[in-house]
Copies of this chain bind each other. A is one copy, B any other.
Amino acid sequence: MKLAVFVSDYRVNVDTLERLNPEKLGIIFVQNGVYHATVKENGNSSSLLKKSANHYVLLDDLDTRGLGNSDVADNVKLVTYGDIVDLIFNEYDKTAWL
């Protein structure tokens, strides 16, 4: 399956993502999930960025939190609400909100 997983929290309290291994995986950072795309703790990027997947981050939710494009890790693509709709319909067939 082609699965788009929404991560909406910084401290993720489920380990589901570690175990999912679909044919195609997209990780979309929204709400406080956007910190995964920007924050380094003690110099280390979020472990979610190391997962083999296409990574996306919602621009509106970055801006809301005072974070800018320059804060975003290289392998994460900035997306709008419109892009998210297109990803859901065109690139993936199922979704998960953790």
Interface residue ranges, A against B (CB under 8 Å): 9, 11, 13
For residue A41, give the distance in angstroms from its CB to the closest CB of chain B.
11
Residues in chain B near residue A11, CB distance under 8 A: 11, 13
Residues of B within 8 A of A9 (CB): 13
In the assembled complex, which residues on chain B have CB atoms less than 8 Å from the CB atom of A13? 9, 11, 13
Inter-chain CA distance A62–B11, complex, in Å, is 26
Tell me the minimal C-beta distance from A87 to chain B in angstroms. 28
Distance of A3 from chain B, by nearest CB (Å): 23
A51 vs chain B, min Cβ distance (A) = 19
Pull 4 A–B residue pairs with CB atoms less than 8 Å apart, ordered by A: A9-B13, A11-B11, A11-B13, A13-B13
User: Please, which residue of chain B has its CB at the minimum distance from the CB of A14?
Assistant: B11
* Alpha-carbon gap, A11 to B9, bound state (A): 13
Name the residue of chain B whose CB is nearest to the CB of A15.
B11
